[in-house]
Structure 1
Amino acid sequence: MRPPAPWADLPFFDDPWPAIRDRLPDDFLPGPDRVFAALEGLPPQDVRVVILGQDPYPTPGHANGLAFSVTPETALPRSLANIYREMADDLGDRPHDGDLSHWAAQGVLLLNTSLSVLPGQAGVHAKWGWDGLARQAVALAQSHRPVAFILWGAHAQKALKGMPRDVDLLIETAHPSPLSARRGFFGSRPFSRVNDWLTARDEPAIDWIGTGGLFAPSQEG
């Protein structure tokens, strides 16, 4: 469970990460190979969009280390099904499964505020100190370029409060959960809004659906 090299200098990895690491039980999810999946393969200079979740799915075999994402063979969780419904309304199509790794490959940071959970116990590690990592990682990404923020729900909005700058894009809506999606999430069209902002900056749009044309990471660092 080594910190990904491009992010290893974040203060989080000096404290409190060692204490968190030593407390993690053998059966934590998504497991040691996927705990930092959101940061691995996506150096801070390549982050273009930030989507912040809460914690990994607590069902074994579902979480793959990326916020809102599940393993390809997993049925869509209700929030992700609503995200795809909004995407279909916004863009006319949606991915064929719930694995969002093709978003990460294009510079979308899919980070949770807590990176570990126990089977069947959602939120159980929420107060372990994980939350500092999200703010530090986002701040490092912002030091390289303007960033688009998609913040769904009060939890994400509170966690990154004050971080979006005038040069960034901020999209704040209700959470896609079935309990709140009709309070402003549906109809918000975040995917086309992000792409309009990126293309206005002469950057490639995100291929949200996964039909090809993946973003080529920079060679910096």
Structure 2
Amino acid sequence: MSVSASLIAPLEAGWERALAPAQEQFHSVRDQVQRRRDDGEHVLPAPQDVLRAFRQPFAEVKVLVIGQDPYPTPGHPIGLSFAVSSDVRPLPRSLRNIFTELQQDVGADPSAHGDLSHWAHQGVLMLNRVLTVAAGSPASHRGIGWEAITETAVRALVGRGTPLVSILWGAQARKLQPLLDAGDHTEVITSAHPSPLSASRGFFGSRPFSRTNEALRRLGTEPIDWQLPPARS
């Protein structure tokens, strides 16, 4: 059985190869998540979105944003860390804080929507450390096996030997820093998580967006246009 068959939704071919070493963990997590759903737990995000991050082209990732786990509010998580569908209102508070820092950092107008696909299309991979959560219960799926899978993803990205800037927000994300400090083709930017509980303790003023673009230029690749376009009607 392929990795992509272990949970609903196919993976991009590069990710299918990159995550092959984690196939056993995929099968274990798939079984655990399915048991929870069968027992009546409302697992987020929807099955088809759990592996959405791994549908981006593996070879084109140049910025890695690591979060913690999906939003625990039904209707919010869509498989890309911190992003929501364009019609979600109000925006999650963590995302509002991200937009506040984005404006202060690079002058980008705050977006009225949380669709971050404009970033994804430029090679920004928004990956949570844990890819599922029980509705209303943050961190409820930590320790069921996702960490090994996302660690495999990080190792594979670093192993390409091509430019990679990583933005690690929060303590769970920062645990991956030793894997990302891998040489002259990688740079790491860390800060507190943008959640309302911690944003004022080191996220605000951390300038992750301008620092990322500075790092990309040093690594010889194009910066990111962080300004989000209006939502499509």
If the length of structure 1 is used for normalisation, what is the TM-score? Answer: 0.87
Q: State the one-letter code of the partner of 1:109.
A: L
Please name the residue that 1:146 is paired with. Answer: 163
Q: Could you report, residue by residue, the CA deviation over 1:151-209 in whole angstroms, capped at 9, with x for unpaired residues?
A: 11211101443432232111111111222222221111110111122233342211111
Please name the residue that 1:113 is paired with. Answer: 129
- Please show how residues 23-172 of structure 1 align to structure 2 within 5 Å: 23-24=32-33, 25=37, 27-40=42-55, 42-74=56-88, 75-93=90-108, 94-144=110-160, 145-167=162-184, 168-172=186-190
1: CA distance, partners of 2:46 / 2:21: 19
**Gapped runs of 5+ residues in structure 2?**
1-7
If the length of structure 2 is used for normalisation, what is the TM-score? Answer: 0.83
1:29 and 1:117 in contact (8 A); partners too: yes
Q: State the one-letter code of the partner of 1:65.
A: G
**Gapped runs of 5+ residues in structure 1?**
213-221
The structure with the largest helix share of the pair is 2
Q: Percent identity?
A: 44
Q: State the one-letter code of the partner of 1:21.
A: R
1: CA distance, partners of 2:131 / 2:63: 19
Is the alpha carbon distance of 1:163 and 1:196 closer, same or farther for their aligned partners in structure 2, counting shifts above 3 Å?
closer
**Deviation of the 1:97 alpha carbon:** 1.1
> SS of the counterpart of 1:149?
strand
Q: 2:16 aligns with which of 2, 5, 8?
A: 8
Task: Calculate the aligned-residue CA RMSD, in Å.
Answer: 1.9
Asked if 1:205 corresponds to 2:223, the answer is yes
